Structure 1
C-alpha cells in the first residue's frame, strides 16, 4: 500500500456541543496502543452496532489495518481529549467516487456532538480526494448513527435489505448542510462561553498573601462581588488568603472547579493548565503576562498554552487579560483585576485590551449604564469577539453588544455573524489601528491587507455601527440600549438656548439628518413650556433632541418628568443635553435603575446628534431585507474551474480574463494587438467601424492621452498610430477595439482573494480624480441584489451614475447585474487571486467591459470561515 504524506492540514481543534473542545487529526500507526485503550472502554452495545455482532477485542492484525491508512483511498480521523482517543471515523473507497463510512464514539462522550463534527471533517477530506458519496450500512436499532447521517444536511437516501439499512449521502455541499454546520457552531461556541461566564465555582491560582498582587486582587474582587459559588484560593504555602481557606494545588481542592483564574508566572502556566485538566476544570482565565506580547519566546509559550488547553477540552480567555464579569444576580461574577464593575444592565462588552478595559468599565459605571457581561480577551489567543457574538446572540440578558477591537482573527466569520446578529441586536464597534493597520504584539491575528475604508464598508454591509472612538461608542450605546430606533432622519430640536439649538441644527445637517426649525423656549422656560413644545414637535419628526441648560438653577426635576412623559407617550427616540451632564441620569430614568424608556443625556447637543446619526443609519439598514445571493442564469462553474486549472501551473499566472468571464455570462469586447498601421486598419475593418486605438500595456494605458477615439476610417487609424508611436515610443504595443457607445461613465470593478476576508468585490468610477483618490467601495462575495446596489452607491463619485453634473442617467440595473456575476465568480473560484475589469463603460442602456486581466494563484489553505468547523 502506497501511503501519501501525512496530511497535517486535516488537523483541527473543534468545539463540541457542550462547549468543551477536542482535537481532530488523521490516525497514525503510532496510535495502536491508543486504539486498544479506546476499544477497551466501549460498551458491548457500541461494539455490536459497529461490527454487527460481539467483538470483545481487536486482534493485532486488525489494529495494524485500522491504524495504517494511505490517506487517499483509506482515511481515518480520530478525536482526542488529552492523550485519550475518544472517537474515530473512517472511509474506505469502494468505487472511484464512492466510499464506505463508519464511526465509533466512546460511550462516555456520546451526545457531545463528536460524531457530527468528525463527519464534517471526513466529508471535507473525501471531497479533497475525489469522493462524492458515502455509503453506510447501519443496523435498524442504531438510531444514533442514522440520526448523525440524516441530520448532516447532505442529500440522503436509505433502503432496507437483509436486516440492514443502507444509507447513501451525496457529499455535494448544500445550503442545508452549510446551515446545519453554522447552527452547530453557534450552539457549541455559545455554550463554551456560557461555561466561562456562569461557573458554579472558581479557583484563583496564584492568589498570594501580599495585598496588591494580581492573584489576590482577583480573589478580593470575586469576594466583593459576592459570587454565588465557592471561591478557592490556590497557593503552595499559604493556609488562607484574604480570610479564605487556601489549597496547595488545584487537585487538592475538595469540591468541583468550573473556572480557574491563573495568576502565576508565565513559565509556570502550562503545568497549572495540565493540573486543571486533571481536576476537570472547564475553563481558564489567564491574567498572567509574559506571552505573545514579549516576543518570539513568549509567542511560542502562548501557542503551547492554547494547544494544551484545547487538547484537554478547555477554552482560554487571555493570556495577558483583565478577566471576565457577569452581573446576573444568580452569578455575580467579577473575575477581573478591575475593582469597579458597572451594575446590572443590558449591554454586553468585549475588550481586547486589559489596561484599557479597566478605564472602560469605570466610564460605563460613571455614565450610570449597566452591563450584562464583560470579557477582556488580552492577547485573544483562543476566545475572541466572534465567540462572544455567538453567546450574546442568544443571551436573553443582552440587548446591545459593544466591541473594542485591536485585531480581527477571522474577519469573514465576524461579518457573517454580525450580519445575522445585527438584525436583532445592535453591534457598536471601535476598531483601533485604522490608520496604521497594525496588530498589537501578541495577538494571534493577521495584518489586514485591505484599506481601512474597506473594513468600514464591510462593517456597513453587516449592519455594524462603527464609531471613531470610545466616547462615541458609549454615546451610541446609551441611545440604542434605552430608546426606540428612529423611523427616519427628521429631527426636532427643543431648547431653552438659541445658541445651543442652532448648534444642534447645524450638527444635524453635517450628519445627513433633516432638522426641523428649532424651537427656542427662552432661558426661563419651565416644565409646562417644555412639555407643550415637545408635544407639538413630536408628530412631524422621527426623533427629538431636548436641550435644558439653564443660566441659573431651575426646576430640573419637573422638566425631567415632562421629558419622560413625552418620551413614554410618543414611541420615538428622545435624547437630551440635560444641564451638560453625561449618561443615564437619575432624573431621566424610567425606573429605579436605567431601563427601556430612560432618556440618555449628552454633554453637548452635537454629541447627541452624532450618536443619533449613527443610529438612523443603522435603522435604515434594518429596513432593507437581508436578501440571499441570487440564482444566476448563464453560469458554467465547471467550465470555469477547468479553465482555471488548465491555465494555472505551479507558479501564479496572469491571463486575459475574457474566456473566464464568459463562463459567468459577462462579455468582454474583443481587441486586437497590432504592430503596424496596416495591421491596425485590417483589425478595424474586422471589428467594425468606428474604432479606438490605445496602448495595450496596462501600465502605459494609465498615462493621459493614450487613447484615440472615434476613428471612422483607414486614414484616421494610420494617423492615430503614428501619433501614439511618437508619444509613447517605438516599442509600445497598441491595440484596436470597436468604439463603445457614447456618452458613458467610465468605471472599474475588481475581485480579489484576501487572506483574511476571502473573496471581496470592489467598485469605483474610472475618472482620473476618482482613481487618484482611491474612491472605491467594497463588499464581501457573493453579493445579494441589495449588496450590489449599495456597492454602486457607496463611492463619493456615485452621483455621476445618476444624472448629476451633466452626465445622463446610466444603466444602473445592468451594472448591478455585472457586479452580482463578479461576486459569484469570486465566491466560486478561490484560485482567482485578482481580477480587474478596466475600463467598464456604463452607458444609458448597456454596460460594456472593454478589458479584463486576472491573476491566478493556488490558495495557501482553506478560505477563512470555509470548510468544516474548526478553531483558528
Structure 2
C-alpha cells in the first residue's frame, strides 16, 4: 500500500522534540494492548521525535516487505519521507505506531482522500508477524477514523500481499476488491458491524485469556522475597506451596537457605509465574529481569506504591508502565495471592493454609481481607474451586481479565466475584454477558455506592446512582449477592445442582411455621409452591421423610425442592440428609436443604453422584432458589438484536458536531442552539417538535397562528419550563385571548420567582399521553450511559429511572421501560389506554446510537417525550458537545 501525498517541507524542531505550532496530540488514542500470543504492547500516535526509531524499523524490514509496502526497493527512508511520515496533523493525516519496549515494530496510517474516504497502510516488522499486530492496529486506526468522520478505508495492494488483504477481511468488514493494472484496489466501510464486533470480542478474549495463563495455569514458579516483610511473605508462600500438591518446579530467591539474586537461578528457568514480596523502590527494575527469566505473570504481595507523585516514592503508574514494557501481566500490589489447579496440580499461592477442594467455581476479589474471607468460607463449605485470584490494588490485572480467562477455562463453570469497585464497567458488562451465557456469574459489591475508594486504589468516580450499576449487572445476566457468605452459598448451589426447569417448588419440612415462611418467601420471589407445603410432625424422622420423598418422586408437578429439618427433640439430621440426597439424585431436579448443623457440602447430604447444598436458614435457601430461577429465565430469554436503524445520517451528524467544535477549546463544553440540536437529532431519526421563541404576547400570537391552534406556552427558563404547577407551562391555549392572558400570568409569575424576565416558547399541542424523559450522558466511570423514566417530581424524587450501557438491543430498550416502577402508566393502568411503547423504545435506541458513536456529544436530554397511543412526540431537547475524552469502544485496550 502506498500514499501519493507530497512530502512536507522541513521545519526546525523544538528542544523537546515537538514541532513549534504542532497540532494537538490526541493522547486519548494511546493504549496498551494484549497481542495474540498473550504479550503486551503499546499503541500511540506517531511523534516528530520518532524519526530515528522509524528509520531503524525500516532498515530491519526484509526487501520483500519493503517492496510490498512501497512498491519499490528502498534500503533507507529518504529524509523528506521520514519527515513526512513523522509529521502528521492527527486529522487529515494520521499515523499510529506499535511499540515493544522502546522499539517500533509496526506502523499504521491513513490519509484522507475526501468524500469520507481515507487511504490506509500498514507495515509490520517481519520478526513479529503472526502476532496479530496488523489486526489490532486496524482496530485503533478505524476508531480514530470514525472519530474524525472517515467512513471508508481504501488501499492499493499488490496481489501477492495476501496477508494484508486478510487483515481487512478477517476483521469482520465487508471488503470490496477490484484488480486494476496489476494492483488490487481494496475498500471497506469502517463502521462496526455485528460481525466485526464479534470478531473483536473473540480476539480480545483469546489474547487476554492467554495473557492470564501464566498466572492461572503456570508450569514453573519463582518465589522472591526481599526486606524483612518480604522474606516473611516468601517463607509463608513457600510453606503453603509445599503443603499443597503442586508438582511443578518451584525455586525461591532471597529466602534463607536459597540463592540470593535472580541471576543465581538463570539456568533453572524458564519460569511462568513469579510471586514477589519486596520493597517498592526495587520492583519496577526487577520486572525486566523477571521477563528475562521467561516470566509471563507476576503476583505482587507487597505495597508502598502511591497513586500520586511523591518524592522518593514509586507511583503505581511507574509500576504498571514497567510491567507493560516488560510484557508482563501484574497482579497487585497488595494481592492476597492466587490458588489454581491444572496439569501441575494444586497451587496455593496465598498466605492461608486452608486447602481448597478442586472444582468448577472461579473466585475473584480485590482486598486481602475479602480474599481471606472467601478462601476460608469456601473451605468451610467444601466448595470446589477451579481458581482464585486476589487483584489487590488492581493496577493491571482486574476482574475483567480474570473473567476472560474463565471464558476459555473448561474447568470453570461458575464465576463468583467480590468487588470494592469496578474499574471499567462498560467492558465488565460486555465480558460478563458472554460469561453468563456460559454459566452463572455471581457478584458482591461492597458498600452502598459501588465506588468504594480504599487507600491505594485509583477509582474513577461516577455521577450516576448505584441503581445504574445494578441495572448494568442485570442487563448482563449477573446474579447479585449482598454478602460474601451469600456469594459462596449461591456458588455452592450453582456448582452442584442443575438449574430449575420451571417455577414450581416442592416444600417439605417438619415445622408448620417454617413451611408457611418458605411458601411466602417463594411467592414473594415469583415462584410457586407445588401443590401444598408438606409439614410433617415436629418429631418426624428419616422414615417419615422417606415416605414423603417416595411420593414426590412419583410426581411430575414440581421443578425444584427445598427440604428442611429441625431437631425439636432428638437430632436425626444425619439420617434425614441421605434421604434428601436421594431425592436430588433420583429426580435430577434442583434440590436445596436446610438441615440443622449441615451447612455447605457435607457427607450427609451426598450420594456418589450428587451433592446437595445445605443452607443455614430457610431464608437463604429460598433466596438461592429464587436467584437460580431468575438466572434460568435470563438464559432462556431472547436478548434481541442490536439497535441499528438504516435511516441514520452518520456523515451529517459528524459534520455538525465537528463544526460546532471548530473554535471550542479542549476541556470545555457548549450547549447547541435549539435549531442545531434539532438538526443533529434529526440525523438519527429523532424529530423534535418545532417551537418558536417569542419575547412578548404579540409575538406569541403570531407564532401560534403560524404553528396552528391549540398551542402550549413554555418559559425558556431551564427549571420552570417543565413546571406547570409553578406557572412555567400553560397548555391547550386555543385562541389569542387565552394566549395573551396566559402570557401575562406566566411572565409575572416567572419574574416574581427568578427576579428577571425571560423569553417564552410557543409550540403546537401534542396528543394526550404520558410525559417521559430520555437522557444520555458521558460518565467518567461508565462512559456513555442511557437513562429513561417518566416525567414529574414524584418519579424524579423517588429515583424511578432505568439505566443501560450501549450498544443496546431492542430487548434492552424495552426492558428499560418495563423495569420502571411506574411503567404501568405506559402499559395501561386502571382502565387507561396502553400507550405507544414501540415509539418510546425506538427513541431510546436512537439516542443510544447517537451517544455511543459520537463521543463529541457529552449529553442529550429529551424532556418531555410525550408518549401517546400512536407515537412519541419530542417536545423539548438539549444537547451539549465537547472534544472527545474517550477513545472508541470498538478497539482492544488494557486499563
Instruction: Tell me, yes or no, whether TM beats 0.5.
Output: yes
Going from structure 1 to structure 2, the CA distance change for 1:333 and 1:95 (only over 3 Å counts) comes to: same
The answer on whether the counterparts of 1:841 and 1:849 sit within 8 Å (CA) in structure 2 is yes
How big is the shift at 1:283?
A: 1.5
Query: In the aligned structure 1, how far is the partner of 2:196 from the partner of 2:720?
Result: 48
Change (3 A) 1:751 1:239: same
**More moved, 729-738 vs 466-475:** 729-738
The aligned counterpart of 2:401 is 387
Q: Note if contact 1:486-1:542 (Cα within 8 Å) is conserved in structure 2.
A: yes
1:186-205 maps to which residues of 2 (within 5 A)?
Answer: 186-205=205-224
Matches of 1:638 and 1:74, distance apart in 2 = 19
Distance in 1 (alpha carbons) for counterparts of 2:886 and 2:346: 43
| Partner of residue 639 from structure 1, selected from 621, 645, 652 | 652
Q: How does 1:434-449 map to 2 (within 5 A)?
A: 434-435=448-449, 437-449=451-463
Tell me which residue corresponds to 1:577: 594
CA contact (8 A) 2:149 2:654 kept: no
Tell whether 2:426 aligns with 1:401: no
Task: State the match for 1:686 in structure 2.
Answer: 706
Residues 1:339 and 1:37: Cα distance change in structure 2 (over 3 Å): farther
Q: Which moved more, 1:72-81 or 1:389-398?
A: 72-81
**Aligned pairs for 1:275-286 within 5 A:** 275-286=289-300
Counterpart in the other structure of 1:838? 863
Cα displacement string for residues 173-230 of structure 1 (whole angstroms, at most 9, x for unaligned residues): 3323333222211110010011211121111111689998111111222222232211
Q: Which of residues 280, 300, 324 is equivalent to 1:310?
A: 324
Distance 1:845 1:102, change over 3 A: closer
Q: Matches of 2:149 and 2:858 in 1, distance apart?
A: 24
Q: Is 1:542 matched with 2:559?
A: yes
Does 2:553 match 1:527? no
The one of 608, 615, 618 equivalent to 2:621 is 608
Query: How far apart are 1:282 and its partner, in Å?
Result: 1.6
Does structure 2 conserve the Cα–Cα contact (< 8 Å) formed by 1:286 and 1:318?
A: yes
Distance 1:727 1:61 in 2: 72
Task: Show CA shifts across 1:724-744 (max 9, x none).
Answer: 3343336244433333333x3
Structure 1: distance between partners of 2:421 and 2:303: 18
Structure 2 unmatched runs, 5+:
1-7, 10-18
Within-5 A mapping of 1:45-84: 58=76, 64=82, 68-70=86-88, 77-84=96-103
Report the counterpart of residue 500 of structure 1 in structure 2: 514
Find the aligned partners of 2:170 and 2:557 in 1 and give their Cα distance.
52
SS of match in other structure, 2:246:
coil
Distance 1:508 1:100, change over 3 A: closer
Cα distance in 2, alignment partners of residues 60 and 847 from structure 1 = 62
Q: CA deviation at 1:472?
A: 1.8
What SS does the aligned partner of 1:325 have? strand
Deviating more after overlay: 794-803 vs 58-67 = 58-67
Aligned partner of residue 539 in structure 1, secondary structure: coil
Task: Identify which range, 628-637 or 459-468, moves more after superposition.
Answer: 628-637
Q: Which residue of 1 aligns with 2:138?
A: 119
Query: Offset at 1:447?
Result: 1.5
1:566 aligns with 2:583: yes
C-alpha deviation, 1:610, in angstroms: 1.5
Specify the alignment match of 1:737 in structure 2.
763
1:458 to 2:472 alignment: yes
- Taking structure 1 as reference, are residues 69 and 749 closer, same or farther at Cα in structure 2, changes over 3 Å only? closer
Q: Distance in 1 between matches of 2:806 and 2:535?
A: 50
Deviation at 1:69, TM superposition (A): 4.0
Please state whether the residue corresponding to 2:811 is helix, strand or coil: helix
SS at structure 1 position matched to 2:315: helix
**Alignment correspondent of 2:3:** none
Query: Paired residue for 2:717?
Result: 697
Of 178, 186, 192 in structure 2, the residue corresponding to residue 168 of structure 1 is 186
- Alpha-carbon distance between aligned partners in 2 of 1:413 and 1:248, rounded to the nearest angstrom: 37
Deviations 1:112-160 (A, max 9, x none): 22233233334445566676434243362x5544433442333334455
Closer/same/farther in 2, CA of residues 564 and 761 from structure 1, 3 Å limit: same
TM-score (norm: length of structure 1):
0.90
CA distances 1:18-39 after superposition (whole Å, capped 9, x unpaired):
1111223345565566556656
The question of 1:709 aligning with 2:724 is answered no
The equivalent of 1:762 in structure 2 is 787
Residues 299, 644 of structure 1: CA spacing in aligned structure 2 closer, same or farther, 3 A cutoff?
farther
CA distance in 2, matches of 1:464, 1:359: 22
Structure 1: runs of 5 or more not aligned: none
Matching of residue 17 in structure 1 with residue 42 in structure 2: no
> Which residue number corresponds to residue 686 of structure 2?
666
Does the 8 Å contact 1:12/1:25 carry over to 2? yes
Q: Does 1:374 align with 2:399?
A: no
In 1, the alpha carbon distance for the partners of 2:646 and 2:166 equals 36
Once the two structures are overlaid, the 10-residue window that deviates more, 264-273 or 337-346, is 337-346
**What is the distance in 1 between the residues matched to 2:97 and 2:762?**
60
**Residue number in structure 1 paired with 2:201:** 182
Q: Cα–Cα, structure 1 residues 398 and 561, in superposed 2: closer, same or farther, change >3 Å?
A: same
SS of 2:719's equivalent? helix
Aligned to 1:154: 173
Aligned-residue offset at 1:387: 0.8
Match of 1:429 among 419, 433, 443: 443
* CA distance in structure 2 between the partners assigned to 1:116 and 1:268 by the alignment: 36
Could you say what the CA RMSD is over the residues aligned between the two structures, in angstroms?
3.1
1:79 Cα deviation from its structure 2 partner: 3.2
Determine helix, strand or coil for the equivalent of 2:507: strand
Could you give the per-residue CA deviations for residues 288-334 of structure 1, whole angstroms, max 9, x where no partner exists? 11113798569852111111111121111111111121033633222
User: For 1:53 and 1:368, how far apart are their aligned partners in 2?
Assistant: 67
1:384 is displaced (CA, Å) by 0.8
2:302 corresponding residue in structure 1: 288
Distance in 1, matches of 2:562 and 2:147, equals 59
1:725 counterpart = 2:747:
yes
1:419-447 superposed Cα distances (whole Å, 9 cap, x missing partner): 22211211101112433733233234411
Distance 1:200 1:811 in 2: 60
Query: How far did 1:833 drift?
Result: 1.7
Q: Distance in 1 between matches of 2:312 and 2:605?
A: 49
Which region of structure 1 is more displaced relative to structure 2, 757-766 or 45-54? 45-54
From 614, 622, 628, the counterpart of 2:635: 622
CA distance in 1, matches of 2:838, 2:141: 43
Equivalences for 1:843-854 in 2 at 5 Å? 843-854=868-879
1:259 aligns with 2:273: yes
The alignment status of 1:871 with 2:894, answered yes or no, reads yes
Q: Structure 1 residues 758 and 115, CA, compared in 2 at 3 Å: closer, same or farther?
A: same
- Cα distance in 2, alignment partners of residues 677 and 437 from structure 1: 51
- Residue in structure 2 matched with residue 135 of structure 1 by the alignment: 155
Deviations 1:784-843 (A, max 9, x none): 221122111112122222333454332222222222222222223222222222222223
* Contact 1:207-1:214 at 8 Å conserved across structures: no
User: 1:274 is paired with a residue of what secondary structure?
Assistant: helix
Cα distance change, pair 211–846 in 1 and its aligned pair in 2 (3 A): closer
Residue 518 (structure 1) aligned to one of 498, 517, 533: 533
1:680, CA displacement in angstroms? 3.3
2:636 and 2:352 map into 1 onto residues whose CA distance is 40
Q: Is the 8 A contact 1:247 1:253 kept in 2?
A: no
> Per-residue displacement from partner, 1:403-429 (whole Å, max 9, x unpaired)?
111222211111111122211211101
Aligned length: 856
> d(CA) in 2 for partners of 1:23 and 1:187?
18
